[in-house]
Structure 1
Protein backbone atom coordinates (compact mmCIF):
# COMPACT_ATOMS: atom_id res chain seq x y z
CA UNK A 1 0.00 0.00 0.00
CA UNK A 2 1.44 3.36 -1.04
CA UNK A 3 -0.08 5.29 1.87
CA UNK A 4 1.15 4.21 5.33
CA UNK A 5 -1.43 2.27 7.29
CA UNK A 6 -3.35 4.27 9.93
CA UNK A 7 -1.91 7.56 8.73
CA UNK A 8 -3.34 11.01 8.03
CA UNK A 9 -3.64 12.20 4.44
CA UNK A 10 -4.14 15.95 4.15
CA UNK A 11 -6.21 17.23 1.25
CA UNK A 12 -4.52 20.37 -0.08
CA UNK A 13 -7.00 21.88 -2.52
CA UNK A 14 -8.38 25.33 -3.25
CA UNK A 15 -10.85 26.49 -5.88
CA UNK A 16 -10.22 29.45 -8.16
CA UNK A 17 -12.48 31.74 -6.14
CA UNK A 18 -10.75 30.94 -2.83
CA UNK A 19 -7.97 33.11 -1.36
CA UNK A 20 -5.44 30.27 -1.10
CA UNK A 21 -5.77 29.23 -4.74
CA UNK A 22 -2.40 28.64 -6.41
CA UNK A 23 0.20 25.88 -6.72
CA UNK A 24 2.80 27.63 -4.57
CA UNK A 25 0.34 27.97 -1.71
CA UNK A 26 -0.80 24.36 -2.01
CA UNK A 27 2.83 23.20 -1.99
CA UNK A 28 3.35 25.19 1.22
CA UNK A 29 0.26 23.53 2.70
CA UNK A 30 1.71 20.15 1.77
CA UNK A 31 5.03 21.03 3.43
CA UNK A 32 3.17 21.96 6.61
CA UNK A 33 1.30 18.64 6.52
CA UNK A 34 4.57 16.77 5.98
CA UNK A 35 6.19 18.54 8.92
CA UNK A 36 3.20 17.58 11.05
CA UNK A 37 3.69 13.90 10.23
CA UNK A 38 1.11 13.31 7.49
CA UNK A 39 1.52 10.13 5.48
CA UNK A 40 0.23 11.49 2.17
CA UNK A 41 -1.40 14.37 0.31
CA UNK A 42 -4.58 14.56 -1.75
CA UNK A 43 -4.37 17.26 -4.41
CA UNK A 44 -6.32 18.53 -7.39
CA UNK A 45 -5.08 19.61 -10.80
CA UNK A 46 -1.88 18.87 -12.69
CA UNK A 47 -0.08 22.07 -11.64
CA UNK A 48 -0.75 21.58 -7.93
CA UNK A 49 0.21 17.91 -8.06
CA UNK A 50 3.51 18.63 -9.81
CA UNK A 51 4.34 21.43 -7.33
CA UNK A 52 3.53 19.25 -4.33
CA UNK A 53 5.59 16.35 -5.65
CA UNK A 54 8.55 18.72 -5.88
CA UNK A 55 7.93 20.03 -2.38
CA UNK A 56 7.45 16.91 -0.27
CA UNK A 57 8.52 13.23 -0.37
CA UNK A 58 4.99 11.94 0.19
CA UNK A 59 2.65 9.86 -1.97
CA UNK A 60 0.02 12.01 -3.67
CA UNK A 61 -3.57 11.06 -4.38
CA UNK A 62 -4.36 13.10 -7.49
CA UNK A 63 -7.60 14.23 -9.06
CA UNK A 64 -9.08 17.06 -11.07
CA UNK A 65 -12.45 18.70 -10.58
CA UNK A 66 -14.20 19.56 -13.85
CA UNK A 67 -17.87 20.37 -14.32
CA UNK A 68 -19.56 19.17 -17.52
CA UNK A 69 -23.03 20.54 -18.32
CA UNK A 70 -25.64 17.81 -17.94
CA UNK A 71 -23.44 15.57 -15.78
CA UNK A 72 -23.08 15.39 -12.01
CA UNK A 73 -19.72 13.61 -12.10
CA UNK A 74 -16.92 16.13 -11.52
CA UNK A 75 -14.04 14.32 -9.78
CA UNK A 76 -11.68 13.15 -12.54
CA UNK A 77 -14.69 12.71 -14.84
CA UNK A 78 -12.98 11.13 -17.86
CA UNK A 79 -10.28 8.57 -18.57
CA UNK A 80 -8.22 11.25 -20.29
CA UNK A 81 -8.38 13.36 -17.12
CA UNK A 82 -7.15 10.42 -15.06
CA UNK A 83 -4.21 9.79 -17.39
CA UNK A 84 -3.25 13.48 -17.33
CA UNK A 85 -3.25 13.48 -13.53
CA UNK A 86 -0.98 10.46 -13.54
CA UNK A 87 1.41 12.19 -15.94
CA UNK A 88 1.54 15.14 -13.56
CA UNK A 89 2.98 12.84 -10.89
CA UNK A 90 0.03 11.42 -8.94
CA UNK A 91 0.90 8.13 -7.25
CA UNK A 92 -2.79 7.22 -6.93
CA UNK A 93 -5.58 8.58 -9.14
CA UNK A 94 -8.95 9.31 -7.52
CA UNK A 95 -12.04 9.00 -9.70
CA UNK A 96 -15.78 9.35 -9.20
CA UNK A 97 -17.06 5.80 -8.73
CA UNK A 98 -20.72 6.56 -8.17
CA UNK A 99 -23.44 5.08 -10.37
CA UNK A 100 -23.85 8.35 -12.30
CA UNK A 101 -23.17 8.71 -16.04
CA UNK A 102 -19.71 9.85 -17.06
CA UNK A 103 -19.24 12.62 -19.66
CA UNK A 104 -16.95 10.56 -21.89
CA UNK A 105 -19.56 7.80 -22.21
CA UNK A 106 -17.34 5.16 -20.65
CA UNK A 107 -18.54 2.89 -17.91
CA UNK A 108 -16.79 2.83 -14.55
CA UNK A 109 -15.55 -0.65 -15.33
CA UNK A 110 -13.96 0.52 -18.58
CA UNK A 111 -12.16 3.37 -16.83
CA UNK A 112 -10.82 1.22 -14.01
CA UNK A 113 -9.76 -1.50 -16.44
CA UNK A 114 -7.86 1.00 -18.60
CA UNK A 115 -6.07 2.43 -15.57
CA UNK A 116 -5.26 -1.05 -14.27
CA UNK A 117 -3.67 -1.93 -17.60
CA UNK A 118 -1.41 1.12 -17.23
CA UNK A 119 -0.43 0.06 -13.72
CA UNK A 120 -2.10 3.12 -12.17
CA UNK A 121 -3.50 2.65 -8.63
CA UNK A 122 -7.15 3.75 -8.50
CA UNK A 123 -9.00 5.30 -5.59
CA UNK A 124 -12.74 4.93 -6.07
CA UNK A 125 -14.64 7.85 -4.53
CA UNK A 126 -18.06 6.44 -3.61
CA UNK A 127 -21.20 7.58 -1.82
CA UNK A 128 -22.98 4.33 -0.91
CA UNK A 129 -22.20 0.82 0.26
CA UNK A 130 -23.35 -0.67 -3.06
CA UNK A 131 -21.05 1.63 -5.03
CA UNK A 132 -18.12 0.61 -2.85
CA UNK A 133 -18.75 -3.09 -3.35
CA UNK A 134 -19.13 -2.60 -7.10
CA UNK A 135 -15.94 -0.53 -7.43
CA UNK A 136 -14.00 -3.17 -5.52
CA UNK A 137 -15.32 -5.89 -7.81
CA UNK A 138 -14.33 -3.83 -10.86
CA UNK A 139 -10.71 -3.65 -9.73
CA UNK A 140 -10.28 -0.43 -7.74
CA UNK A 141 -7.30 -0.43 -5.36
CA UNK A 142 -8.84 1.80 -2.68
CA UNK A 143 -12.43 2.62 -1.73
CA UNK A 144 -13.02 6.07 -0.24
CA UNK A 145 -16.21 7.46 1.29
CA UNK A 146 -15.44 10.87 -0.27
CA UNK A 147 -18.79 11.43 -1.98
CA UNK A 148 -21.12 10.29 0.80
CA UNK A 149 -23.34 13.27 1.52
CA UNK A 150 -22.63 14.88 -1.85
CA UNK A 151 -24.94 12.90 -4.12
CA UNK A 152 -28.70 13.07 -4.45
CA UNK A 153 -29.12 9.69 -2.78
CA UNK A 154 -26.95 10.60 0.23
CA UNK A 155 -27.55 14.33 0.71
CA UNK A 156 -29.39 13.75 4.00
CA UNK A 157 -26.58 11.70 5.59
CA UNK A 158 -24.88 12.99 8.72
CA UNK A 159 -21.14 13.22 8.18
CA UNK A 160 -18.81 11.56 8.73
CA UNK A 161 -20.77 8.41 7.94
CA UNK A 162 -18.84 6.01 10.14
CA UNK A 163 -21.48 3.29 9.74
CA UNK A 164 -20.85 3.18 5.98
CA UNK A 165 -17.12 3.12 6.61
CA UNK A 166 -17.45 0.27 9.07
CA UNK A 167 -19.59 -1.87 6.77
CA UNK A 168 -17.21 -1.48 3.87
CA UNK A 169 -14.17 -2.16 6.06
CA UNK A 170 -15.67 -5.43 7.27
CA UNK A 171 -16.92 -6.65 3.90
CA UNK A 172 -14.06 -5.63 1.58
CA UNK A 173 -10.51 -6.97 1.51
CA UNK A 174 -8.93 -3.88 -0.06
CA UNK A 175 -8.12 -0.65 1.84
CA UNK A 176 -11.14 1.48 2.78
CA UNK A 177 -10.46 5.18 3.27
CA UNK A 178 -12.35 7.58 5.53
CA UNK A 179 -12.99 10.94 3.88
CA UNK A 180 -15.77 13.47 4.12
CA UNK A 181 -16.99 15.60 7.00
CA UNK A 182 -14.17 14.83 9.44
CA UNK A 183 -13.71 18.02 11.48
CA UNK A 184 -12.15 16.84 14.74
CA UNK A 185 -9.13 14.65 15.58
CA UNK A 186 -11.31 12.29 17.62
CA UNK A 187 -13.49 11.62 14.56
CA UNK A 188 -10.36 10.64 12.63
CA UNK A 189 -9.30 8.32 15.43
CA UNK A 190 -12.76 6.77 15.54
CA UNK A 191 -12.63 6.19 11.78
CA UNK A 192 -9.48 4.13 12.28
CA UNK A 193 -11.17 2.18 15.05
CA UNK A 194 -14.03 1.47 12.64
CA UNK A 195 -11.59 -0.09 10.17
CA UNK A 196 -10.30 2.72 7.95
CA UNK A 197 -6.87 2.04 6.48
CA UNK A 198 -6.14 5.76 6.61
CA UNK A 199 -8.00 9.04 6.97
CA UNK A 200 -8.22 11.99 4.57
CA UNK A 201 -8.94 15.41 6.08
CA UNK A 202 -9.23 18.57 4.03
CA UNK A 203 -11.33 21.56 4.98
CA UNK A 204 -10.78 21.24 8.72
CA UNK A 205 -7.04 21.69 8.13
CA UNK A 206 -6.46 23.53 4.86
CA UNK A 207 -9.43 25.84 4.28
CA UNK A 208 -9.15 28.78 6.67
CA UNK A 209 -12.19 30.57 5.26
CA UNK A 210 -14.30 27.51 6.06
CA UNK A 211 -12.80 27.20 9.55
CA UNK A 212 -13.32 30.90 10.24
CA UNK A 213 -16.93 30.69 9.01
CA UNK A 214 -17.64 27.98 11.60
CA UNK A 215 -16.40 30.29 14.35
CA UNK A 216 -18.39 33.23 12.98
CA UNK A 217 -21.61 31.21 12.90
CA UNK A 218 -21.07 29.99 16.47
CA UNK A 219 -20.28 33.46 17.78
CA UNK A 220 -23.22 35.05 15.96
CA UNK A 221 -25.51 32.37 17.36
CA UNK A 222 -24.21 32.90 20.89
CA UNK A 223 -24.85 36.64 20.66
CA UNK A 224 -28.54 36.31 19.89
Structure 2
Protein backbone atom coordinates (compact mmCIF):
# COMPACT_ATOMS: atom_id res chain seq x y z
CA UNK A 1 0.00 0.00 0.00
CA UNK A 2 2.92 2.32 0.69
CA UNK A 3 4.05 1.76 -2.91
CA UNK A 4 0.78 3.16 -4.23
CA UNK A 5 1.38 6.40 -2.32
CA UNK A 6 4.97 6.85 -3.48
CA UNK A 7 4.21 8.56 -6.84
CA UNK A 8 2.45 11.37 -4.96
CA UNK A 9 5.47 12.43 -2.92
CA UNK A 10 6.49 16.04 -3.46
CA UNK A 11 3.92 16.66 -6.17
CA UNK A 12 0.59 18.17 -7.15
CA UNK A 13 -2.66 16.21 -7.00
CA UNK A 14 -5.47 17.89 -8.93
CA UNK A 15 -9.02 17.53 -7.64
CA UNK A 16 -11.32 17.36 -10.67
CA UNK A 17 -14.84 17.96 -9.40
CA UNK A 18 -17.83 20.16 -10.22
CA UNK A 19 -21.05 21.12 -8.41
CA UNK A 20 -23.96 18.78 -9.09
CA UNK A 21 -25.93 21.58 -10.78
CA UNK A 22 -23.04 22.58 -13.07
CA UNK A 23 -22.87 21.72 -16.80
CA UNK A 24 -19.36 20.49 -15.97
CA UNK A 25 -20.76 17.73 -13.73
CA UNK A 26 -20.49 15.16 -16.49
CA UNK A 27 -18.18 12.17 -16.59
CA UNK A 28 -16.64 13.07 -19.94
CA UNK A 29 -15.91 16.63 -18.80
CA UNK A 30 -14.32 15.49 -15.55
CA UNK A 31 -12.20 13.01 -17.52
CA UNK A 32 -11.07 15.79 -19.87
CA UNK A 33 -10.07 17.95 -16.88
CA UNK A 34 -8.15 15.00 -15.46
CA UNK A 35 -6.37 14.38 -18.77
CA UNK A 36 -5.33 18.03 -18.96
CA UNK A 37 -3.99 17.86 -15.40
CA UNK A 38 -1.96 14.73 -16.11
CA UNK A 39 -0.65 16.19 -19.37
CA UNK A 40 0.78 19.12 -17.42
CA UNK A 41 2.51 17.00 -14.80
CA UNK A 42 0.04 16.34 -11.98
CA UNK A 43 1.22 13.33 -9.98
CA UNK A 44 -2.30 12.20 -9.13
CA UNK A 45 -5.99 12.98 -9.22
CA UNK A 46 -8.79 13.27 -6.66
CA UNK A 47 -12.16 12.30 -8.14
CA UNK A 48 -15.68 12.11 -6.66
CA UNK A 49 -18.27 9.41 -7.49
CA UNK A 50 -18.02 6.02 -9.18
CA UNK A 51 -19.21 7.26 -12.59
CA UNK A 52 -16.59 9.99 -12.73
CA UNK A 53 -13.85 7.71 -11.40
CA UNK A 54 -14.72 5.10 -14.02
CA UNK A 55 -14.47 7.68 -16.81
CA UNK A 56 -11.15 9.00 -15.53
CA UNK A 57 -9.75 5.48 -15.15
CA UNK A 58 -10.74 4.68 -18.75
CA UNK A 59 -9.01 7.86 -19.90
CA UNK A 60 -5.90 7.15 -17.82
CA UNK A 61 -5.72 3.64 -19.22
CA UNK A 62 -5.34 5.11 -22.70
CA UNK A 63 -2.47 7.34 -21.58
CA UNK A 64 1.07 6.46 -22.69
CA UNK A 65 2.01 6.65 -19.01
CA UNK A 66 0.92 3.68 -16.91
CA UNK A 67 -2.37 4.46 -15.19
CA UNK A 68 -0.99 3.39 -11.81
CA UNK A 69 2.01 5.72 -12.11
CA UNK A 70 -0.31 8.57 -11.14
CA UNK A 71 -2.91 7.32 -8.66
CA UNK A 72 -6.57 8.22 -8.42
CA UNK A 73 -7.73 9.18 -4.93
CA UNK A 74 -11.41 8.26 -5.08
CA UNK A 75 -14.27 9.32 -2.87
CA UNK A 76 -18.05 9.48 -2.98
CA UNK A 77 -19.80 12.45 -1.42
CA UNK A 78 -23.13 11.32 0.01
CA UNK A 79 -25.25 13.41 2.38
CA UNK A 80 -27.20 11.11 4.70
CA UNK A 81 -28.95 13.11 7.48
CA UNK A 82 -28.65 13.41 10.38
CA UNK A 83 -24.98 12.45 10.03
CA UNK A 84 -22.60 15.28 9.12
CA UNK A 85 -20.19 12.79 7.52
CA UNK A 86 -20.42 12.97 3.73
CA UNK A 87 -17.03 11.89 2.31
CA UNK A 88 -17.37 8.14 1.57
CA UNK A 89 -19.47 7.67 4.71
CA UNK A 90 -20.08 3.90 4.54
CA UNK A 91 -18.28 0.77 3.39
CA UNK A 92 -20.56 0.19 0.40
CA UNK A 93 -19.58 3.66 -0.86
CA UNK A 94 -15.91 2.75 -0.51
CA UNK A 95 -16.57 -0.53 -2.30
CA UNK A 96 -18.21 1.26 -5.24
CA UNK A 97 -15.33 3.73 -5.43
CA UNK A 98 -12.80 0.88 -5.43
CA UNK A 99 -14.67 -1.09 -8.10
CA UNK A 100 -14.76 2.03 -10.29
CA UNK A 101 -10.96 2.11 -10.38
CA UNK A 102 -9.62 4.15 -7.46
CA UNK A 103 -6.12 3.41 -6.20
CA UNK A 104 -6.61 5.15 -2.84
CA UNK A 105 -9.91 5.55 -0.95
CA UNK A 106 -10.56 8.89 0.74
CA UNK A 107 -12.93 8.85 3.71
CA UNK A 108 -14.03 11.20 6.46
CA UNK A 109 -11.42 10.57 9.15
CA UNK A 110 -13.11 12.46 11.98
CA UNK A 111 -14.75 10.90 15.01
CA UNK A 112 -18.18 12.17 14.00
CA UNK A 113 -21.07 9.71 13.95
CA UNK A 114 -21.52 7.90 10.63
CA UNK A 115 -24.91 7.09 9.08
CA UNK A 116 -24.73 3.42 10.09
CA UNK A 117 -23.01 4.04 13.42
CA UNK A 118 -19.81 2.29 12.33
CA UNK A 119 -16.61 3.63 13.86
CA UNK A 120 -13.51 4.61 11.93
CA UNK A 121 -11.26 1.67 12.80
CA UNK A 122 -13.55 -1.10 11.52
CA UNK A 123 -14.29 0.86 8.35
CA UNK A 124 -10.59 1.27 7.54
CA UNK A 125 -9.95 -2.39 8.38
CA UNK A 126 -12.67 -3.53 5.97
CA UNK A 127 -11.28 -1.31 3.20
CA UNK A 128 -7.85 -2.87 3.75
CA UNK A 129 -9.02 -6.46 4.08
CA UNK A 130 -11.82 -6.62 1.53
CA UNK A 131 -10.72 -4.07 -1.04
CA UNK A 132 -6.94 -4.10 -0.64
CA UNK A 133 -6.76 -0.32 -0.92
CA UNK A 134 -4.90 2.29 1.14
CA UNK A 135 -7.00 4.86 2.96
CA UNK A 136 -6.65 8.63 3.01
CA UNK A 137 -8.34 10.02 6.13
CA UNK A 138 -9.69 13.54 5.64
CA UNK A 139 -9.49 15.33 8.99
CA UNK A 140 -9.99 18.71 10.61
CA UNK A 141 -7.82 18.66 13.74
CA UNK A 142 -4.59 17.15 15.02
CA UNK A 143 -6.48 14.98 17.51
CA UNK A 144 -8.58 13.48 14.74
CA UNK A 145 -5.48 12.99 12.60
CA UNK A 146 -3.77 11.02 15.36
CA UNK A 147 -6.89 8.95 15.99
CA UNK A 148 -7.17 8.22 12.28
CA UNK A 149 -3.56 7.02 12.18
CA UNK A 150 -4.24 4.85 15.23
CA UNK A 151 -7.27 3.45 13.39
CA UNK A 152 -5.06 2.41 10.48
CA UNK A 153 -5.18 5.28 7.98
CA UNK A 154 -2.33 5.11 5.46
CA UNK A 155 -2.19 8.89 5.01
CA UNK A 156 -4.04 11.88 6.44
CA UNK A 157 -5.19 15.10 4.81
CA UNK A 158 -6.11 18.55 6.10
CA UNK A 159 -9.21 18.43 3.86
CA UNK A 160 -11.88 19.16 6.48
CA UNK A 161 -10.14 22.05 8.26
CA UNK A 162 -12.68 24.89 8.35
CA UNK A 163 -15.58 22.64 7.34
CA UNK A 164 -16.59 21.06 10.65
CA UNK A 165 -18.19 22.34 13.83
CA UNK A 166 -14.84 21.96 15.59
CA UNK A 167 -13.12 24.28 13.08
CA UNK A 168 -16.01 26.58 12.26
CA UNK A 169 -14.85 30.10 11.47
CA UNK A 170 -11.34 29.03 10.50
CA UNK A 171 -10.26 29.45 6.91
CA UNK A 172 -8.13 26.98 4.97
CA UNK A 173 -5.38 26.38 4.13
CA UNK A 174 -4.60 25.21 7.64
CA UNK A 175 -0.84 25.62 7.61
CA UNK A 176 -0.58 25.50 11.40
CA UNK A 177 -2.54 22.24 11.39
CA UNK A 178 -0.36 20.94 8.57
CA UNK A 179 2.81 21.64 10.55
CA UNK A 180 1.43 19.94 13.64
CA UNK A 181 0.33 16.89 11.64
CA UNK A 182 3.70 16.62 9.92
CA UNK A 183 5.43 16.76 13.30
CA UNK A 184 3.24 14.22 15.07
CA UNK A 185 1.82 11.84 12.44
CA UNK A 186 3.98 8.87 11.38
CA UNK A 187 2.23 8.57 7.99
CA UNK A 188 2.26 10.88 4.94
CA UNK A 189 0.39 14.15 5.50
CA UNK A 190 -1.37 15.65 2.49
CA UNK A 191 -2.31 19.32 2.39
CA UNK A 192 -5.74 19.86 0.89
CA UNK A 193 -8.15 22.76 1.10
CA UNK A 194 -7.81 26.44 0.32
CA UNK A 195 -4.59 26.30 -1.72
CA UNK A 196 -5.17 29.24 -4.06
CA UNK A 197 -1.80 29.83 -5.73
CA UNK A 198 1.41 28.07 -6.76
CA UNK A 199 3.26 29.91 -3.99
CA UNK A 200 0.89 28.48 -1.37
CA UNK A 201 1.38 24.99 -2.82
CA UNK A 202 5.14 25.48 -2.55
CA UNK A 203 4.73 26.69 1.03
CA UNK A 204 2.77 23.57 1.94
CA UNK A 205 5.50 21.33 0.55
CA UNK A 206 8.18 23.34 2.34
CA UNK A 207 6.26 22.80 5.59
CA UNK A 208 6.54 19.06 5.07
CA UNK A 209 3.41 18.09 3.15
CA UNK A 210 3.87 14.77 1.36
CA UNK A 211 1.76 16.14 -1.51
CA UNK A 212 -0.60 19.02 -2.20
CA UNK A 213 -4.17 18.70 -3.48
CA UNK A 214 -5.56 21.67 -5.40
CA UNK A 215 -9.12 21.79 -6.67
CA UNK A 216 -11.07 25.04 -6.99
CA UNK A 217 -8.06 27.18 -7.92
CA UNK A 218 -7.47 24.94 -10.95
CA UNK A 219 -10.73 23.22 -11.90
CA UNK A 220 -13.43 25.24 -10.12
CA UNK A 221 -14.69 27.15 -13.15
CA UNK A 222 -18.14 27.83 -11.66
CA UNK A 223 -16.73 29.29 -8.45
CA UNK A 224 -13.99 31.27 -10.18
CA UNK A 225 -16.32 32.86 -12.74
CA UNK A 226 -18.79 33.75 -9.99
CA UNK A 227 -16.06 35.55 -8.03
CA UNK A 228 -14.99 37.55 -11.10
CA UNK A 229 -18.57 38.44 -11.98
CA UNK A 230 -19.33 39.57 -8.44
CA UNK A 231 -16.32 41.89 -8.40
CA UNK A 232 -17.52 43.57 -11.62
CA UNK A 233 -21.00 44.35 -10.36
Superposition TM-score tier, normalisation by shorter sequence: over 0.9
SS at match of 1:3: helix
Q: Which residue of 1 aligns with 2:12?
A: 8
Deviation by residue 1:175-199 (Cα, 9 ceiling, x = unmatched): 0000001111111100001110000
Indicate whether 1:90 and 2:94 are aligned.
Answer: no
Q: Deviations over 1:50-92 (max 9, x none)?
A: 1101112331000001111211111101011111111111000
Q: Once superposed, what is the RMSD of the aligned Cα atoms? A: 1.1
Distance 1:61 1:205, change over 3 A: same
Alignment match, 2:224: 211
Match of 1:17 among 21, 24, 27: 21
> Which position in structure 1 is the counterpart of 2:155?
142
Corresponding residue of 2:64? none
The answer (yes or no) to whether the contact 2:111–2:119 under 8 Å persists in 1 is no
Matched, 1:81 2:93: yes
Q: Which stretches of structure 1, 4 residues or more, deviate above 6 A after TM superposition? A: none
1:126 aligns to 2:135 (yes or no)? no
Alignment of 1:58-77 (within 5 A): 58-77=70-89
Taking structure 1 as reference, are residues 2 and 80 closer, same or farther at Cα in structure 2, changes over 3 Å only? farther
3-state SS of 2:51 partner = helix
Task: Tell me, yes or no, if the aligned pair for 1:143 and 1:177 is still in contact at 8 Å.
Answer: yes
Deviations 1:93-123 (CA, angstroms, capped at 9, x unpaired): 0000112100122101110111122321000
SS at match of 2:83: coil
TM-score, normalised by the number of residues in structure 1: 0.95
How many residues align structurally? 220
Q: In structure 1, which of residues 187, 190, 197 is the aligned counterpart of residue 210 of structure 2?
A: 197
Aligned to 1:111, the other structure's residue is in SS state helix
Would the aligned equivalents of 2:161 and 2:171 in 1 still touch at CA under 8 Å?
A: no
* 2:193 corresponds to: 180
Structure 1: how far apart are the matches of 2:19 and 2:122?
Answer: 29
Q: Given the alignment, which residue of 155, 158, 161 partners 2:174?
A: 161
Partner of 2:123: 111
Deviation (angstroms), 1:170 = 1.2
Go from structure 1 to structure 2 and tell me whether the alpha carbon gap of 1:166 and 1:150 turns closer, same or farther (over 3 Å shift).
Answer: same
Contact 2:83 2:115 in 1 (8 A): yes
Once the two structures are superposed, residues 8-28 of structure 1 have per-residue CA deviations (whole angstroms, 9 ceiling, x without a partner) of 000011232012011000000
Contact 1:2 1:59 (8 Å CA) reproduced: no
Unpaired segments ≥5 residues, structure 1: none
Q: 1:91–1:2: structure 2 CA closer, same or farther, 3 Å change rule?
A: farther
Which of 37, 52, 55 is the aligned partner of 2:56?
52
